[in-house]
Amino acid sequence: MTVNWHAIDTVLLDMDGTLLDLHFDNFFWMQHLPKRYAEQHNLSLEQVSTKLEKRMRDYQGTLNWYCTDFWSEEFNLDIVALKQEIDHLIGERPFARSFLEALATHNKQRVLVTNAHRDSVELKFAITGIDAHLDSVISSHDYGQPKEDQRFWQQLQDNIGFDPERTLFIDDSDNILHSAEQFGIAHLLGIEQPDSQRAPRQSASFPMISSFAQLLSIGT
């Protein structure tokens, strides 16, 4: 993997599936939440899974889809408390921390840009402590638009003043990388295996890394 680090000042990093293992999130939405919902409503897991999947599909790609308050109300469950029940599954992807440290050594600005709600961000920081290695943290909920929307990137630029030509953005979602590309961000990288428990994915659109170990040779 060759990145021209001399051409980059700012590194924008996604959280779930990029810095952190998506296994926690997939396990939560596909297994833990349906199980708890079924228990509360005295329903079978099959009944619940069909119902929840349909509801979640309706909101995919919108800010609500990422909003813990929205789902807490929608399902009448405390989403944050349920997430805490399985917080031992929260973990970093390989060499994420080493990569953030290397970026700091070479004076690159490190900005977390996530669609996750602040509640989820705080939970993940409390477990991993990864916020100690970030210069800024932006949740799209701060702007009222998800990363899929061009208005997110405009607000981000107004807010932190990055130069799209000299910015690298790393995210595990092709849709979101396309959105950043449309805004003019010049350097884009995907993640091959966002969830450590699932098979690697393919992307015809963007180069991908399997581990941040591939990016540790900054400045050489």
Q: Pattern of binders to Mg ion over 157-176, x per CB under 5 A?
A: ---------------x----
Among 8, 16, 49, 128, binds Mg ion (CB under 5 A): 16
**Sign of the Cα pseudo-torsion (180, 120, 133, 157, in order):** positive
Rounded Cα–Cα distance for residues 216 and 79 (Å): 36
CA-closest candidate to residue 17, choices 161, 214, 219, 209: 209
Residue type (1 letter), 73: E
Is the distance from CB of 15 to CB of 116 less than 8 angstroms?
A: yes
Instruction: Assess 17 for contact with Mg ion (CB under 5 A).
Output: yes
Residue 148 binds Mg ion, judged by CB under 5 A: no
188 has which bridge partners?
169
In whole angstroms, the minimum distance from the beta carbon of 114 to Mg ion comes to 7
Q: Whose Cβ is closer to Mg ion: residue 27's or residue 35's?
A: 27
Among 14, 25, 92, 148, binds Mg ion (CB under 5 A): 14
Please identify, using beta-carbon distances, which residue of 172 and 195 lies nearer to Mg ion.
172
The residue number with the shortest CB distance to Mg ion is 17
Beta-strand runs (E) in 1-148: 10-13, 109-114, 136-139
Q: Shortest distance, CB of residue 172 to Mg ion, whole angstroms?
A: 4
Q: In whole angstroms, what is the distance from residue 185 CA to residue 168 CA?
A: 7
Is 92 a binder of Mg ion (CB under 5 A)? no
Rule CB under 5 A: which residues touch Mg ion?
14, 16-17, 172
